[in-house]
Amino acid sequence: MNEYLGLVFDITGIGADRLALEYCSAAEGAKYAEFTREYTEKIKKVGPNPIFKKK
């Protein structure tokens, strides 16, 4: 599914690099927190969503 969604993100101009899917159970708070930190840093490096560029 991740590959299909990545393709959709690329086709729509959002970019597959903005997609991340991670399974975390309710008992894995530390895993969720780490994933969220890493993903936030990744998105900051990627930059603003190209679909919402200022005109």
| CA 39 to centroid of chain Cα atoms | 6
Span 1-55, pLDDT tens digits: 678 998 999 999 888 989 998 999 999 999 999 999 999 999 999 988 888 776 6
Collapse the DSSP code of 10 into the 3-class scheme (helix H, G, I; strand E, B; otherwise coil) and give the result.
helix
For the chain, the domains span 20-47
In this structure, are residues 9 and 19 in contact, taking their beta carbons and an 8 Å threshold? yes
C-alpha–C-alpha distance, residues 6 and 49, integer Å:
15
pTM: 0.74
Sign of CA dihedral 25, 4, 46, 53: negative
